[in-house]
Every structure is written in structure tokens, then in C-alpha cells.
Chain A
Amino acid sequence: MKGFPARLLLPVALLLIAFWQGGSAVYIYVKAGLAQVLIEGAWERSLQYGSLGHKPWAWADTWPVGRLQVNHGSELLHDYYVLAGSAGNSLAFGPAHVASTAQPGHVGGIMIGGHRDTHFRKLKNLVSGDEIRLQSVNGVWRDYTFVRGEVVDTALDQFLIDIQSDQLLLVTCYPFDSIQANGSKRWVGVAR
């Protein structure tokens, strides 16, 4: 064998890129799934002490603020712990509560965002009448009924939330099957 054959350079380079891309995708999915396991413990501690701010791992900059169950008919679509703060770092680990909106368990509009590709990938199946439940830190479950979904273009419109009405807003990216990561459109599901 006389060294690395030149003709292998291209296929190997292509293969490396393939692995890099595939790997980062897998990393995102694995992170999204595994983190929830760690968050479960943090949420149990939150419920036990009745306080927020319990971190799922030592260097986390977020913590669970609620537990969300999304049903379609009798089928449970999603069951996730909701994290504080909707910056990218929280969203990688779970659906995230938009903190300028009401806290789970408080009066007012509550907004929760989730990745279209991971935690909120099944929201597109929702039809009006579906049941959505949200558990707050005092352990109480609040039941919401899905009303409708709206598409908002963030490049044009300002989304406004009614701070006085009790509603739950689930946000994910739109179109549902697009692969573009930085699109301006969002789907907002309204549940009361």
C-alpha cells in the first residue's frame, strides 16, 4: 500500500461532510430527547418544594416551569416539561415558556414555543376541540381546549397577546414541513 490514494480524497471528503451534517442532526434530536429525562427530575423537585428555579443539570441556564400534554382525540401527541425562557438554548431541550407572557398557573395569556422538528412536530395534527393540559408548579393541571391555529408572518406583523384573557398559545415554525431554519412565519395555536 503506497499511502492514501489520491482518488479517494473526494469521496472521503464528501463522506466527512455527510457524517458532520448527519451527526449534527442526530445531536439535535438526541439532545431534545435526553434533556427531557434530566428535566423530569428537576420538575419533580419543583413540585415537591413548590418553587421554580430547580436546574436540570449543574450548568443549565434554564429550569422547568410546567408540564405540557397535548392530546389529539384520545391520542397523546406530546408530553413535555416546559422550560423557562424562549431563547435558542432552552428550545433545544424542550418547549419553552415565553417569559414576557403570564407564568403557568397565573391569570393571563401564556405562550409556549417548541421546535417544529422535535418537541412540537405533531402540533399540525391538532383540530378544534382537542385537549391540552398544563401543569403549574403548585401541581394543579389546567385544561385548555384547542380553538384554532393562526399563521403569523413575523417580518410583517407584531403578534399581540391579550394579557387579561386566560389562554394558552402554542407556537412553532411554519410551514410545518419546511427545512428552512430561519423562516419568518410562525403557527400559533390558540387554546382556551
Chain B
Amino acid sequence: MFKTKKNPPYRIIDDHAKAFTQQGSKGLRWWLRWFLLTAVTLSILVFAAHRQAYAEGLRSLSYERLPDDVVAGEVFLRNENNAAAPYKPALHLASDLKADISGMIASVTLTQKFKNTSDDWVEATYVLPLPETAAVDAMQFQVGDRIIRGKIKERREAKKLYMKAKAAGKKAALVVQQRPNLFTQKVANIAPGESLTVSLHFLQKVDYQQGDFVWRLPTTLTPRFIPGRANTQLISEGSGWAMPTNEVPDADHITPSMVSAARSQAEVKNPISISVKLDAGLPLASVDSAYHKIVLRKEGEHHQISLAAGTTAMDRDFELRWTPRKNNEPAGAIFTEEKNGEHYALVMLVPPQQTASAERKNTLARELIFIIDTSGSMGGSSILQAKRSLILALERLKPKDRFNIIEFNSTHTRLFPQAMPADTQLVQRAINFVGSLRASGGTHMAPALSDALMQFQLSASERHLQQLVFITDGSVGNESALFHLIEKQLGRARLFTVGIGSAPNSFFMRKAAQFGRGTFSYISDLSEVSTKMGTLFAQLESPVMTQLNLTWPTGRSAETWPARLPDLYANEPLVITARLDSSPDSGEVLSLQGFGVNAPWVRDLKLSRPKNSPGVASLWARDKIAALMDQKHLGGNPAVIREEVLALALQHKLMSPYTSFVAVEEKISRPKTAGLKAKSLPNLVAKGQNLMPVALPKTASTAPLSLLLGAIFLMLAAFSEFVFRSVAVK
């Protein structure tokens, strides 16, 4: 039956009339009820809306939980005196680096000075790049003449202590490891106008490569590509531009906002001053820095190095390279330390020079696959360096070699369906292909790597050496998964990484090469391309030294890291750290045996009376942590590994994935009434880069969906009411 208000004019039959009058009065009450319901619903709605507004108000109070707050929180103050740079950031950062290099051990103090130029109390967050092998063993902060020393704690406990101090208004500092080469530094309760410095101390082994000693320090990072589906459920507590994804669950902690050094006017942004005391321990032919102008002073036995410009922008790696004088090249070295009754040693041994016979060079056939990264982060000067390197490599191929090229960004492309002979025509085609490459898109590294290793496995030729040359800036956030892939699919291939750009991901470069049982090198400037690629090719073309075996003097037992000695390439030394059961005596001999071109060889190292080299114990512990973490990358039991690393890191007071440094001042400095603002310091865009990743905002509201659902439910309500009424009337 239909419900109408007006009496229909055709009321003829009595029965019907009776039914209708009843219904009329009922309909009136019905409408009243509808009205009441509407009123109730509306009030509930208004209440809900208020709650939402209230919740938003609350969220704005707990400022640091907003993923975008770095950016949203960057307040610019007007600078009246400088018309050219009318706004200056509310927080300033200046860094100072002091390194003391003795032999092969660098002892480095990095001091960060935070200056709060705003009128608010501030908590500063800074993503700090460090060398991937750094053993961080101390942290402290200083405000005025008060020095507060940091303590090593289990990571969660350190965070808790820090949060508590922060809430209580105490000054506190926290340093947390995100990656072996990426750390988050937090400083709470910096007063308006106040300066505060945080110092980190770390130890590091100096690399000895191709007859040069090299010490490299990153000062910024190339923004990491974050693969995977964004986890929108999580509220990010980090301050990155990326949200956590299923593949990179800590993406928000490794993606700091970036600011161009070029954009700042006049003054150097994020300036760093560097001073190095170099005690090489042997006569030197040269000391150079590839990317910075330095001033070199000889003071007695050691060299003093500083930046020619005084300070420089933190937009590229700092590299110091020193070369021993001819005929003074070391054949081996040992550094020892006695600590808490235990004996530790750092040993370097250079295998005898192996010159491949001309005959062998001619018969050695290789299958090379080059992978070149053409993702967006390679834009600017990086892609030029990568292309130049690859073209140079192609020109060095010999006709009997087989080769292929894979370029990748969001997707990957093979130049040829399978590896082809390196004849003039095909090489020319490859060179043209490389010339046409442009950088854009994402860094989906795993499919490209997997494809290359798969090709090797399908390749039938047993005769060919399989070599994979991977040219990339390594700017990915899913390193661990990639290491796992390399280890699992490597087969008999060898992987060589070539790190490109002003701030390559050194952790990825070194570890990928280690899991790929090859070498790593860096090209950060076009002028380096030919020498670095020349070195790489010498390694690719020379025989590898295998089956290395280290023999300690009789009666001594040693725990050596890495446990499995790697294969060595041309001009590569073996570097290990060991814990010994007793102090080595002078006159004892440590010997390294290996297998060269066709014959075995032995290299002996006479141990001298031990001279204490502080830091060796920490370096040994750091190597052991790295080895344990390698097991985790390969799928070892995380709980077991965590326990082992935690115990070791706490014992040696070292930073690790599971331990952090926290320093808290007892005094309460921030008054209860003053609020605290979270501010993040941006890192500088690496030199030569002009493309920056941006997280695109979420720009759809639920309004259209709600409207549609609302309409559907309204119709359903009307329909069900209609159905019920018809049923009831019948």
C-alpha cells in the first residue's frame, strides 16, 4: 500500500476506507519518529565531528608523531639584515671532524654543533652518515662547560631513557644505528638561542687498495629508493619523507629531508671542518684528497691535513689517499692491543705479486654482464660518470669475451636476449645503447640482479669466467634482501660493484661485493673514470688467489674475522682481526698460504715486540658484529643473532643495530610551562645531483565514497521500509 497524506478522491469501498484511516494516523506518528531519529542522528554526528576535531588538536600537540612534521615544522625566521637571504632556518648545524690516523687505524671524533636560533625549546633530529665499517665507541654532549658522557644501552632501553628525559625537560642526546652507515641523532631540550655540541668517537680500519691507503668519510647521503607497499596503517614515528613499506619497515628513519647546497645564499650550509693527523708509519710518496682541496703540513714524523677553504659543505664524501714511496710498499703489518686481559690483533698481508703469463691472458675467456643503474637518483653528474665508465669497459672487451648489458630503473631491459661475442659491431651497438640512456624512475634493483645471475646460470659455457659488473649509487633501502639474493643466486659468478656519485651507499657497495665475492670501487668524478676502471679491469683480467689459509704460530689459538678468508684479486691485501689467547712474541711467524696462477705460495709475517695500538679490540668486536649480521642477512635466526650481538656490543661498548648511546643531564632545564618543538635538520643534496625524490601527498578524501555509501543506505532504508509496510498491510 502507498502512503499518502491527502485523502484520495476515490474512496469508494468501505473496507478500504477503514484501512486507510488507520494508516493515516499511524503515518503521522511515523513521520514524527523519523524527525526524532534525524535529530538524534544529527546530534551524534555533530558530537563525532567534534571528537575528530579534538583528536586533530591532540595530534598537533604530540607533534613528532606526524610523518611530515620535519617539513611542516621548519620555521623560517625573517632575517632583516640580509635582503638576499630573507629567511634563515630555526636550527643551525656545523660539524667538525678530527681524525688521528696511525698506521691502518683511524681514530675519529665527529662533533656536531646544534644552534637553536628560534624562540622555542627544540628537539633536533639529524640523520648522520658514517663510514660503513665505523666502530662507534663513545658519545657525549657538551653545553656550556658541562660535559655529559653517553652510556651504551640496549636500544629500546636507550630510547626509553631518552624519551623520559625529554619529557622531564632534561637535556639528552641519543644516537641510534639505522644502517651500518646511517645513524639517527636526537638532541632534546635545546633552549632558545642555545648551542649544544654532540661528539661521536669511532674507530675504523684504513683500506689498502692497489698500493694506496684510502680513508673515506661520507658527509651526506643519496636519497634511498624505498620499494614495497606503503604501510598506511602505521603512524610513522620517524621524520623521513617516505612511509614504512613491507620491504623497508624503517623507511621513515632513513629518508631525511634534503636541501640543496646551491640553494643557500652566500654562507655554507651544513659546514664541516676537517683536520687529520696522519702517522702513516712508512715513508710516503704522496697524500691526496680527490674531492676536496687540502693543505698538507709535515710535522716531524707525521702529516697534518686540513681543508684549504677552512670549511666545506657536507655534500660529498671526503677521501684521503696516501701512497708509500717506491720500494717501501708494505708486505704486511700487525697491530696489537691488550685489553681486559685479552689480546687482539689487526693483521694485513699482501700476497706476492702474481703476473699472469701472456699465454693465460690470451686464453682466459670471460662472460661479462654489466648492470647499469639508470634510476632517478643517478640523474645529474652520476649518470655521466656511469655511462663513461661503462663505455670504457666496453672498449676494453676482447673478441673472445662474451657480454651483455642490463639497464634498470622501474623496470629492467637487456641489450641482447643473451650474452653475445664482443665483436666490433656488437660492441659499437652496445656503446650506442649506453649513449642513449637517461636517468629516471625507481630503483628496482632485485629483478635486474636476479635476471643477470639467472642468465649466468643458464649459460652453457663452462670455459668462461662469469663476471658481473654492477654500476650504481646503491641508493636503496632494502639492502639486506639484496644481499640475500646475491648469496643465493651467485653460483660461480663474481660480482664487482662500482659506486657512482658524490655520496654512494658505501654499505651496499662493500657488502654486495663481499657477498658477490668480488671487489668494490668508487667513481665520484668524471676525471677518475679511466684510472678506476683500469684498476677494475686489471682485477677482472688477473687470476684470483684462492684457498687462502692463515697459520698462527704453533700453540696459539685465534678467533679470526672474517672466519672464511675471501679470495683475493690483483693487488688486494688480506685484512683480518683476531682475538688471541696470549700476546704474540717477537720472532714468531704468522704465515699465509694461498694458491696463485698455477702454484701455491706462502707469505710470512714476522711478529715484532707488541706495541699497544688502542682500538684493535673494538675493531675486532666490530668485525665480529658484522659477521653475525651477515648471517642475519642470509636468513639466520634473528633472536639468536640478536643475543650474541647484544652481548658483544655491550661488553665492548659499541654501537650496533641492538645497542645505542644515550646521554642524559641530571639537571632539568626546560620549565614545565614551555613547550618543545621537534625540528629535523635536512641533509645536503649530494654534489652534482639535481633530482630529488618527493613523496607525493595523499590527495583523495573519503567524501565521495561516503556520499555514495550514504545514498545507497538511504535508498536501502527507504526500500526496506516500503517492503515491511507492504508485508504488514497484507
Contact = CB atoms under 8 A, between A and B. Distances in A.
Contacts of B60: 59-61, 89
B304 to A, nearest CB: 37
Interface string B612-626: 000000000000000
Nearest to B75: A53
B257 interface: yes
Contacts of A118: 701, 703
Q: Name, among A61, A161, A171, the residue most crowded by chain B CB atoms within 10 Å (CB to CB).
A: A61
B706 A22 contact: yes
A154 B243 CA distance: 12
Interface string A153-179: 011111111111000000111000011
Interface stretch (A4-12, A37-45, A72-80, A124-132): A4-12
Contacts of A138: 86
A160 B439 CA distance: 11
B72 A183 contact: no
Contacts of A20: 41, 44-45, 48, 710
Given A115-B700, A118-B701, A158 B375 contact: yes
A92 B697 CA distance: 12
Contacts of A60: 60
Contacts of A28: 701-703, 706
A25 interface: yes
Interface string B195-224: 000000000000000000000000000000
A161 B692 contact: yes
Contacts of B44: 20
B472 to A, nearest CB: 15
7 contacts: A16-B37, A19-B42, A152-B696, A158-B377, A161-B691, A161-B693, A186-B699
Given A8-B724, A91-B697, 14 more contacts: A12-B37, A15-B714, A23-B41, A23-B710, A25-B703, A84-B72, A85-B73, A108-B260, A117-B704, A155-B229, A157-B410, A161-B693, A173-B698, A182-B698
Interface residues of A, number: 81
Nearest to A107: B263
Contact of A14 (B76, B77, B377, B716): B716
B693 A159 contact: yes
Interface stretch (B63-71, B579-587, B597-605, B662-670): B63-71
B43 to A, nearest CB: 11
A163 B690 contact: yes
Nearest to A88: B698
B288 interface: no
Contacts of B71: 84-86, 98-100
A106 interface: yes
Nearest to A165: B690
Nearest to B68: A87
A173 B700 contact: yes
Contacts of A89: 56, 59-60, 66
A125 B707 CA distance: 23
A144 interface: no
The number of chain B residues touching the other chain, given as a range, is 35 or more
A19 B38 contact: yes
B709 interface: yes
A145 interface: no
Q: Name, among B57, B73, B710, the residue most crowded by chain A CB atoms within 10 Å (CB to CB).
A: B710
Interface string B714-730: 10111011001000100
Given A90-B72, A181-B705, A116 B694 contact: no
Nearest to B443: A158
Given A18-B710, A111-B694, A160-B440, A99 B74 contact: yes
B376 A158 contact: yes
B232 A182 contact: yes
A11 B697 contact: no
Q: Name, among B66, B72, B711, the residue most crowded by chain A CB atoms within 10 Å (CB to CB).
A: B72
A190 interface: no
A95 to B, nearest CB: 9
A126 B702 CA distance: 24
A7 B56 CA distance: 39
A158 B225 contact: yes
B442 A19 contact: no
B697 A113 contact: yes
A21 to B, nearest CB: 4
B41 A21 contact: no
